Structure 1
Amino acid sequence: MGLKEELSKCVHCGFCLEACPTYVITRSETHSPRGRITAVKLGIDSVGLNTCMFCRRCELACPSGVKYSDIITSVRKPNAIEKVLVRMLERPETLTPFIKPVLRLNGSTPLSHEEEDYDLVLFPGCIMSVIFRSTVENALRFLKSRGYRVKILNGCCGLAHTHVGETRRAEELISKLKEIKKPIVSLSSNCSAHMKEKGLNVYDFSEFLVKFIKELPKKDMEVTLHQPCHAHLLGIDKYDRQVLEMMGIRIREAEEPSFECGAGGDYFIFNKDMASQVMQIKKEKTLKSGANIVVSTNPSCSIAFIKMGLNPTHIADLIFK
């Protein structure tokens, strides 16, 4: 379906408004999905086009089935810094020197590992490999303990490129990933969702555990669960819940666990004020669970939780807690 047809599907009913994190904090039509769609229809260079967090929660709320993501990515153009940044994501090792001064977090060199005649590809994603390397190590250790021969592939799936409007390069990255003939196990759940939408043979880590491992160590603990936006859109966040149940871990429900975390890819770097306001709402919703540990299977979300002063943990880390 073309852009004109997609735009015509929006009837401005307003179901998207309360689903949109930027509308929730501004109460401004400019910063709402239907307001942005109106701007695209009229050819207006609205400030709202750059304040979209690309969480796509509006697509779940829309009764008309508007593919909002296709509309917003058709008009977005990356700034000069974003162009450099998304290229760096393709080679995560280049990010390490910039992580501490920019994010105030410690960075690591991505883990390198490849076994002869490997069974599957472990795909950490770009950010996971340099900020949460211990998670990658834990996932590798677990898969090897279950007899799998593994190759780690550090890189970017193209979701970040899509987010800022670099759609051509995003498609090139997906084409390269499609050349992989072995199953891909992805540690970053929004990346998992993006690759699934593009037709790749990929399993989110929790999905792989549910479908192929079946039996997991039991843990006497309680957590709350965050549902990353793109993973929630595709419904693959259900596997996180199933894994926690398999491990006997008690889930204390947060208020609206799929509400945007505030990171929005690189959004919190370029739109600090609005991102911090969304993070504050997310923090309040999360704290209502009463749990100290937040299960977060997407690295940008985990960075947001760290900035909130909360304790994010990946499923792969829970196995070894």
Structure 2
Amino acid sequence: MGKGVAMRLTAAALVLVCGLTRAMPESDIPGCSASAYPVNCYAGNNSGAACSGRGTCVCGQCVCNERESHNEVISGYLCECTNFLCDRFNGQLCGGLDHGTCECDKCVCKPGWTGPGCMCEDSSAQCINPESGRKCSGNGICECNQCKCYEGIEGRYSGKYCEDCPTCRGKCSLYKECVQCQAFLTGKYSFEQCVTQCTLFNVTVVSNLATEEGERLCTFFDENDCRFKFVYGNDNHNEPVVRAQSTLECPPSRGIMGFASLSHHMSSSGSVVVALLTLSLALLMG
């Protein structure tokens, strides 16, 4: 008897004979015996459970188990597939219908989503460091549109863009020029360059600079031999936070420079916006 005939006999016996479903012994099915087509119910080298352990082998054919929930289905020639044994995200199968669907035990994500449970935005926009334009500053990999920072020889990188390393040499030199132009209107950056180049953070100028836990103190001398100080760290969202001392420490022979006076009169909660607006108004008023 050919395979197609066996399938038809099996289906007829299972569904139509006396209303029985998957309960009729193989010996009672016409043309079928316990040894008929057994290999058809096993995968590969016939190892493991018949019908993937999710069904019954009847006359050499797998009849998949039924689930209590009609929305849950076991399918496949060897009952190898389900639409309910996929990864979940936020308690929902494949992140919910808006994210993806479960097909043969694996999530098939809809456009815009990725990951084993369709939990990740299919984008790397939030991993691009706006200062350098590099993904995770070259110090990590982008997963789920978030940077996962590397651990180097000197220590582990941190920050939203893996731009910081508390145990490494630090970011003082990296932040220096932007702190100068934002807080004191000095340094190598012009007004226009300061606006376009310094987008990673906005400096907050304070009258009394104190280093808090997790922050690093940086000290430099500007082109007028005046010393300026700032601290940097990261907030709860791993965004860089920078505060600068409002006054410059200049040598007596130089006196207090005009730029230092400008920064001294800035509000303790002031930022680069205040500084740049002040300079713009001064230029306009001639």
TM-score, normalised by the number of residues in structure 1: 0.19
Structure that is richer in strand per residue? 2
Larger Rg: 2
- Return the TM-score normalized by structure 2: 0.21
Higher relative contact order (CA 8 A, sep 6+): 1
Higher helix share: 1
